[in-house]
């Protein structure tokens, strides 16, 4: 049974069937044992106390978060909010954003296609597919984003998978001598020469899936906040500058 099935079982209190003695519980071990009993391959990044007494945050690879009882027998997935000064703060999304930012920041800029602003104030990372209409629309607004002080960093996400026309187009971009020019040509619906080089397209596609991307464009702000879909340049620049 994979992680996608855990939430249903956890909500019914069916994760694990352990009997614990009266001595203090090793929460970390108990929670890991419960999850590993269902999915031995699950990657647990960290386990930490949550703001709720007796409830622990389980940080999974890619920014996913579960909440667990100390003994690991009860788990749930969802949003944890803190109501403060008349506002509802989504604490789960904050944790997820930090994890996504960490994943993105680990990718070298040399593996991205970067359109840099002359006077950069912040940056966005865009998972893109050259065949995607809204990706093409967003690309036409890159000069305006640059003018507003936003670096645009492209990563590859072929929506139809690694055997698609979009994948081949992205490989051609990453293998081109001038990646910026190739990206612009591809998003102008021009066919590029086939790419034959070692490239990070498949690796970036895998990363995108890991952090929850399922369509393009998918935009990650500097703080790790994930924005699905197209946004006009003025709106996107405002969000990016607020998140720097």
Please tell me which residue in 64, 71, 131, 135 is annotated as part of the active site.
135
Q: How far apart (Å, rounded) are the C-alpha atoms in residues 167 and 182?
A: 14
Contact predicate 35/44, CB 8 Å: yes
231 is catalytic: no
**Backbone CA torsion sign across 243, 85, 228, 59:** positive
Residue carrying the six token digits 């984003």: 145
- Residues 6+ positions from 206 with CB-CB distance below 8 Å: none
Cis peptide before 59 (omega within 30 of 0): no
Please tell me which residue in 131, 151, 153, 159 is annotated as part of the active site.
159
Please tell me which residue in 64, 132, 153, 231 is annotated as part of the active site.
132
Rg (CA), the chain: 21
159 is catalytic: yes
Instruction: Tell me the sheet residues that pair with 154.
Output: 113, 126
Strands (E), the chain: 44-49, 55-60, 65-69, 75-76, 81-84, 87-90, 113-115, 122-128, 150-156, 218-221, 226-228
Q: How far apart (Å, rounded) are the C-alpha atoms in residues 231 and 218?
A: 10
175 is catalytic: no
Residue carrying the six token digits 């009882």: 69
Q: Torsion-angle region of residue 224: left (phi > 0), alpha (psi -120 to 50) or beta?
A: left
Please tell me which residue in 129, 151, 153, 231 is annotated as part of the active site.
129
User: Which sequence positions are flagged as catalytic?
Assistant: 129, 132, 135, 159
């Amino acid at each position: 049974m994979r992680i996608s099935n855990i939430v249903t079982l956890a909500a019914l209190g069916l994760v694990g069937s352990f009997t614990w003695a009266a001595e203090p519980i090793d929460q970390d071990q108990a929670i890991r044992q419960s999850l590993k009993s269902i999915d031995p391959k699950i990657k647990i990044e960290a386990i930490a106390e949550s703001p709720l007494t007796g409830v622990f945050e389980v940080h999974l690879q890619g920014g996913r978060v579960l909440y667990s009882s100390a003994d690991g027998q009860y788990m749930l997935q969802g949003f944890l909010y803190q109501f403060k000064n008349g506002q509802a703060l989504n604490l789960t999304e904050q944790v997820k954003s930090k994890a996504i930012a960490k994943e993105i920041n680990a990718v070298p800029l040399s593996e991205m296609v970067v359109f840099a602003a002359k006077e950069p104030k912040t940056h966005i990372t865009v998972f893109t597919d050259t065949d995607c209409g809204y990706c093409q629309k967003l690309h036409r607004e890159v000069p305006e984003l640059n003018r507003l002080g936003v670096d645009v960093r492209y990563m590859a996400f072929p929506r139809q998978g690694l055997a698609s026309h979009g994948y081949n187009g992205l490989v051609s971009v990453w293998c081109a001598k001038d990646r910026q020019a190739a990206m612009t040509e591809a998003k102008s619906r021009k066919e590029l020469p086939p790419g034959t080089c070692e490239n990070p397209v498949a690796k970036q596609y895998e990363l995108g899936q890991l952090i929850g991307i399922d369509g393009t464009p998918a935009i990650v702000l500097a703080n790790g906040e994930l924005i699905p879909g197209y946004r006009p340049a003025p709106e996107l620049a405002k969000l990016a500058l607020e998140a720097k």
